[in-house]
Structure 1
Amino acid sequence: MNFDELRQGSMAPEFETGEVALCGGDAAKLKSFCRKRMEPRRIKSASSRKSRSDVKKEIELMEGAVLLRHGAVSIIGRRREMEDAVAAELDFVERGGRSYSFFGVYDGHGGWLVARDCSERLHKLLAEIVEADAGEEIAWERVMAAGFRKMDEEVNKSGASVASTGSTAVVAVVGEEEVVVANCGDSRAVLSRGGVAVQISDDHKPDRPDELERIEGCGGRVINWNGVRVWGVLATSRSIGDKYLKPYVITDPEVKVLSRTKLDEFLILGSDGLWDVISNEMACRVVRSCLEGRIRRSSGPDYTRAMEAAAVLVELAMARGSCDNISVVVVDLTRN
């Protein structure tokens, strides 16, 4: 596949040198870019920056393991502040001899605090709930609902400083036999199965018929103010946090449990900075080409194809004019 063909029709100019390194350089350049851009917030004090060794460990975690190859990239893009965050926790919980890994994308609004807290805490809360349940089978719908609710309670205890902030959350738990996706907000999960792009999660937009009916049913209003928004403020109808907009904006995730099949290729989690400018089908085409080695932007033993796929999607979203923070997680589901 010719990568330049995908960029046709772009509203964006060519990248500056520092941003080309995301997908156009070697592994060392990619890590240099990530050291600058992968933090969930912008840190002004040089003394408070993470050490090089700490960041290297985080990058290595994002690059994945042998049994479940994955990659994640999160950049500020053209926004003034970084409000996205990502999470990748291999083997975060075990049950009955089976291990499960966790991946998440969080798109904050009003600030970075809630997204950062979710990336650090949500998978831990889910693990605690699973471990407290003595049953042989994990009831993922109940676990996800309880975990999102506890996460919401935690961030809302922070008081007035975060009462007007929140975050979307799309998370995936990948086991040997199943893939569990929980979504709250307008980030999205897409699965490639047998060459077909399957959208697993449904975006929670205020004008989605069932969401609109729910909001108006509890006394709220959806107003078109620079886009369709709850009370003219928030462009998503579900989120973690946003205490001042409850009960109109809720935290309940929509959960889907899919049995893994031999046709499953990969899973993409992304914030709306990706999906606003790239279709599900195009995203899957790009990732498939990267995983098959038909798009090669870098090489090296520490540079996985899943990482490359996530980086190429981010670069493509920038080239197509995305003006938001962009976060992408790619999980290779092919059996080793």
Structure 2
Amino acid sequence: MEPLDDSDSKLERVDSDQTSTSSASGISSVFSTDDFRNGDISSISSGSGEIPTCTVNRVILAPPLIAMSNEADKNEPAAPEEVVVTAVTREKCVGMNNKGVSWGHTSVIGRRREMEDAVAVIPGFMSRTCDHVGGCTAPGSRSSGEISPIHFFGVYDGHGGAQVAKFCAKRMHNVIAEEWEQEIAGGAEWQKRWEAVFANGFERTDSEIESDEVAPEMVGSTASVVVLSGCQIITSNCGDSRVVLCRRTQTVPLTVDQKPDREDELLRIEGEGGKVINWNGARVFGVLAMSRAIGDRYLRPWIIPVPEVTFTARTDEDECLILASDGLWDVMTNEEVGEVARSILRRRRRSLSSTEEISPTQVVADSLTEIAIGRNSTDNVSIIVVDLKSKRKRVQRPPSIS
């Protein structure tokens, strides 16, 4: 695809008449008008909010500056070049410079008979110092010791019923916060701590579903979650929902779908005596089209609630995060999603007035939902969009779970 900066004109009308269910007029300059037709986008839930910034400092080292010899001295005997390395310190981390983080989400039933998705946005689900959370790039600075809010976002795509997805949306963030309290005393390296927190948290949530008899044994859910600090984007994924980061003109996948025919997953399943059968796509025993999930006790040990965790340091070039169920990814590529999101956000940031009721992130979520339905997505569609470049002063909103 063309770089976004060269293609903004293609989407110049994308957000001209957006409402809570976006207008189709703008995207048609890039996408066919058929992308917006013939679908039920009755909203089960949607909304936007603004959450406060983190207060962590960061140190950045600039590239070396090389003192070149004077042009007039070209013919003189060569002398060793003098290399000058300049250290540039930034007093505030990316999260602090953003003056807060805004978000928007949608969750619609689409063409399915039942709504099985759930989403959770929990601003400030923990408050910790940056050096305790880990990944601070200015350890020992004044701000690294200041308490800052840490934010939680989650998309849960249920199958066989909505019970597990709804339980995860209400419970998962609390379990993760509790597990962090237990792990922080262990003294392990910060990434190892987070990996243990998510592994234990997902397993514990899975066990609570069984012990509390939340759902029948054939009901399960994906879980794609993000913990966002001032310096780090920490993702934990179980299943085939997905998280991507829009960074400048690139769309960077932060998770990898756990599908039964993924080479390592196929080897694991077959090593446990299981089978992957192609029945309308690769499925474990011809039943489930993913290889990891919370719940699904009927398919143990082949379906496991073990997440894959990634760590991404935030930069000034970060545009937004997008978490979504496969109702979106089944019909749109990462690059298409990123192009739409970047174009809308950049334009809306330039034109946003103090009286604007719909946030840019909500416009992105609404637009992506309409495109997915217009492209005949056959699944529920749930999307969270997190703006990482907001410059406005933010007022904390209450948690959102749906």
State the TM-score, normalized to the length of structure 1: 0.83
Q: 2:168 aligns with which of 118, 143, 148?
A: 118
Deviations 1:66-111 (A, max 9, x none): 6110111100001000000000000000222132100010000000
User: Do the aligned partners of 2:283 and 2:289 also contact (CA within 8 Å) in 1?
Assistant: yes
- Aligned partner of 2:79 in structure 1 is none
Provide the residue aligned with 2:148 in structure 1.
Answer: 98
SS in 2 for 1:292: helix
Residue from 361, 364, 381 that aligns with 1:309: 364
Q: Distance in 2 between matches of 1:160 and 1:262?
A: 43
How far is 1:5 from its partner?
Answer: 3.2
Separation in structure 2 between the aligned mates of residue 266 and residue 160 of structure 1, nearest angstrom = 34
1:108 aligns with 2:158: yes
In structure 2, the residue corresponding to 1:316 is in which secondary structure? helix
CA distance in 1 between partners of 2:160 and 2:166 (Å): 13
C-alpha contact (below 8 Å) 1:3/1:295 kept by paired residues: no
1:103–1:215: structure 2 CA closer, same or farther, 3 Å change rule? same
Identify the match of residue 63 of structure 1 among 40, 45, 49: 49
Task: For residue 372 of structure 2, give the secondary structure of its aligned residue in structure 1.
Answer: helix
Aligned pairs for 1:238-253 (under 5 A) are 238-253=292-307
How far, CA to CA, are the matches of 1:252 and 1:14 in structure 2?
38
Q: State the distance in 2 between where 1:320 and 1:6 align.
A: 14
Task: Mark the CA change 1:106 to 1:247 in structure 2 (over 3 Å): closer, same or farther.
Answer: same
> 1:131, CA displacement in angstroms?
2.5
CA deviation map 1:269-314 (0-9, x unaligned):
0100000001101101111122122699x99533211111111111
Distance 1:117 1:274 in 2: 22
Query: Conserved in 2, the CA contact under 8 Å of 1:63 and 1:303?
Result: no
How far did residue 194 of structure 1 move? 2.2
Q: Give structure 2 stretches of 5+ with no counterpart.
A: 1-10, 12-25, 53-99, 130-146, 392-402
Matches within 5 A, 1:1-336: 1=11, 2-8=26-32, 10=34, 13-14=37-38, 19=41, 34=43, 37-38=44-45, 59=47, 62-65=48-51, 67-96=100-129, 97-135=147-185, 137=190, 139-159=193-213, 161-293=215-347, 301-334=356-389, 336=391
Question: How far apart, in 2, do the equivalents of 1:15 and 1:209 lie?
Answer: 35
Deviations 1:171-198 (A, max 9, x none): 0011000000010000001011121011
| Structure 2 CA distance for aligned equivalents of residues 282 and 172 of structure 1 | 22
Output the aligned Cα RMSD.
Answer: 2.3
Larger Rg: 2
- The alpha-carbon distance between structure 1 residues 203 and 119, as it changes in their structure 2 partners (threshold 3 A), is same
Residues 12 and 321 in structure 1, CA contact (< 8 A), matched pair in contact too: no
Instruction: Provide the C-alpha distance between the structure 2 equivalents of 1:289 and 1:160, rounded to a whole number of angstroms.
Output: 42
Which whole-Å deviations, capped at 9, do the CAs of 1:144-190 have from their partners, x for residues lacking one? Answer: 11111111111122449421100001000110000000100000010
User: Structure 1 runs of 4+ off > 6 angstroms?
Assistant: none
Distance 1:120 1:108 in 2: 14
Identity, in percent, stands at: 44
**Equivalent pair of 2:38/2:373 in contact (CA under 8 Å):** no
CA–CA distance in 2 between the matches of 1:14 and 1:165?
Answer: 30
1 or 2, which has the higher helix percentage? 1
CA distance in 2, matches of 1:144, 1:240: 13
Query: In 2 relative to 1, CA 261–160 (structure 1 residues): closer, same or farther, beyond 3 Å?
Result: closer
Q: Which runs of no fewer than 5 residues in structure 1 stay unpaired?
A: 20-32, 39-57
Alpha carbons 1:183, 1:201 under 8 Å: kept: yes
**Pair 144,83 (structure 1): closer, same or farther in 2 beyond 3 Å:** same
**In the alignment, residue 91 of structure 1 is paired with which amino acid?**
G
**Distance of aligned partners of 1:305 and 1:250 in 2 relative to their CA distance in 1, 3 Å threshold:** same
| Alpha-carbon displacement from aligned partner over 1:32-54 (angstroms, at most 9, x marks no partner) | x64xx12xxxxxxxxxxxxxxxx
Q: Partners in 2 of 1:197 and 1:263 — Cα distance?
A: 12
Instruction: Count how many residue pairs are aligned between Structure 1 and Structure 2.
Output: 297
Residues 232 and 312 of structure 2 are in contact (CA less than 8 Å); yes or no, is this contact kept in structure 1?
yes
1:123-153 deviation digits (Å, cap 9, x = unpaired): 0100111223444857211111111111111
| CA spacing shift, 1:79–1:15, aligned 2, 3 Å | closer
- Measure, in 1, the Cα distance between the counterparts of 2:104 and 2:123: 12
Q: Distance in 1 between matches of 2:366 and 2:275?
A: 39
SS at match of 2:51: coil
